[in-house]
Structure 1
Amino acid sequence: MVKIHLSKLLGERKWSQADLVRMTGIRPNTISEIYNELVDRINLERMDLFCEALECDIDDLLEYVPNRRRRVKPLD
């Protein structure tokens, strides 16, 4: 699974979601869904804006955590 660390990064900076809305122009509902990890897909342009605003790398924002049970089939 992929974890989104937007809430952690905002908390470390003591920023609100509204602060990020003002900085990036991304809709509040979109930021809230990403913040709460309720999304299946993330637009790369938004990730770019988040990284620029938060002055972070993409690996600070996203983390791959292996699933407990493998979901892909091996190639034969």
Structure 2
Amino acid sequence: MLIIIKLDSFLKQRGMSQRELSRLTGIRQPTISEMCLNKSKSLPVENLNLICSVLNCKLEDILEFQKDNPDS
């Protein structure tokens, strides 16, 4: 099972930069960058709340749960 962070593509759809999201949320830009690169080791609920609030989106807009493929 794997959680995919789709924040980078969502920001591109909205025409927003990582830097702007960082400024609007107060989340450090390196943390936003890690999320956009899908390299975050943890996703604090507080950060997810801030991002969803600023982007006016749902969690499923920026996160995706993928089940293991039994055929692989």
Same fold per superposition (TM over 0.5)? yes
Query: Which runs of 5 or more residues in structure 2 are unaligned?
Result: none
- Percent same amino acid at aligned positions? 35
Larger radius of gyration: 1
Q: How does 1:29-44 map to 2 (within 5 A)?
A: 29-44=30-45
Letter in 2 for 1:13: R
Q: Which amino acid aligns with 1:22?
A: R
Question: Matched residue of 1:68: which SS?
Answer: coil
Higher relative contact order (CA 8 A, sep 6+): 2
Q: CA deviation at 1:39?
A: 1.2
State how 1:1-76 maps to structure 2 within 5 Å.
1-69=2-70
Alignment TM-score, normalising by the size of structure 2: 0.89
2:64 partner SS:
strand
Deviations 1:22-61 (A, max 9, x none): 1001101111001100012100000000100110011111
| TM-score, with length taken from structure 1 | 0.85
Aligned length: 69
Indicate the RMSD between aligned Cα atoms, in angstroms. Answer: 1.0
Q: What CA distance in whole angstroms lies between the structure 1 residues aligned with 2:28 and 2:60?
A: 23
SS at match of 1:50: helix
> 5+ unaligned residues in a row in structure 1: which ranges?
70-76
